[in-house]
Chain A
Amino acid sequence: MKPAPFEYVRPGTLEEALRLLAEQSGEAKLIAGGQSLVPMMNFRLARPELLIDINSLAALDYHRRDGDVLAIGALARHATLSASALVRSLCPLVTEAYRHVAHGTVRNRGTLCGNLCHADPASEMPAVMLVLGATLVLRSARGERRVAASDFFTGLYSTVVKPDEMLIEVRIPVTAVSCGHGFAEVSARKGDYAMTLVASTLDIRGGRIYAAALAYAGVSDRALRMVALESRLVSQVPSQALFNEVAEAAAHSIDVGEDQHADRAYRSDLIRTLTPRALAQAAASIAT
Chain B
Amino acid sequence: MSNKLIEIAVTVNGKSLERRVPPRMLLSDFLRHELHLTGTHVGCEHGVCGACNVEVDGKTARSCLMFAVQAEGAIINTVESLGTIAKLHPLQQAFWEKHGLQCGFCTPGMLMTAKELLAANPNPTREEVTEAISGNLCRCTGYQTIVDAVMSAAEAMRNSEVTPS
Contacts and interface: CB of A to CB of B under 8 A. Distances in A.
Interface in A1-38: 1-8, 10, 31, 34-35, 38
A102 B48 CA distance: 10
B124 interface: no
B3 A5 contact: yes
B140 interface: no
A188 B47 CA distance: 17
A106 interface: yes
Interface residues of A, number: 31
Interface stretch (B18-26, B81-89, B154-162): B18-26
Tell me the interface secondary structure of chain B in the complex. mixed
A8 B46 contact: no
Interface in A267-282: none
Interface string B25-55: 0100100000000000000011100100100
A43 interface: yes
Interface string B110-151: 000100110000000000000110111000000000000000
Interface of B: 1-4, 6, 22-24, 26, 29, 45-47, 50, 53, 59-62, 64-67, 69-70, 72, 113, 116-117, 131-132, 134-136
Given A38-B47, A38-B66, A104-B116, 19 more contacts: A3-B26, A5-B22, A5-B23, A6-B23, A8-B67, A10-B72, A34-B66, A35-B62, A39-B47, A42-B45, A104-B113, A105-B60, A105-B62, A105-B135, A106-B47, A108-B61, A109-B66, A190-B131, A191-B134
